[in-house]
Amino acid sequence: MSNVEICLKEIMASIEGALGTALVDYTSGMALGTLGGSKDLDLTVAAAGNTDVIRAKTRTMEHLGLKGEIEDILITLGSQYHILRPLKGRGGNGLFLYLVLDKKKSNLAMARHQLKSIETQLDV
């Protein structure tokens, strides 16, 4: 089993309310791995679409001359949280973790903390 698969399984098992997760290359928009999802949550399509979100925010920061890195991006929907977390570690340049949470079953602060912790174990 690859490190990516192990990481995605850990996200789904350890983060309460996780509905789906993916590791995404935002230079190409391709999901390098997905786990979870449903007929109403196509993680491959969501990964490609959220690539545009990461790119737009990165461009905006450049235009504004903002220094620093994106820690994560939170999108709040009526019944879900969507977290986009660009990877910081070696080999992570151009990649982000994508996590979809059930709003009623999750603790957003704890999910962000756990996602950050799991990220450190990912070696791509």
CB 6 within 8 Å of CB 21: no
Nearest by Cα to 45 from 28, 26, 31, 27: 31
pLDDT at 93: 79
> Which pLDDT tens digit goes with each residue over 12-56?
999 999 999 999 999 999 999 999 999 899 999 999 999 999 999
Q: What is the pLDDT of residues 79-122, one digit of tens each?
A: 999 999 999 865 567 899 999 999 999 999 999 999 999 988 88
- pTM of this prediction? 0.92
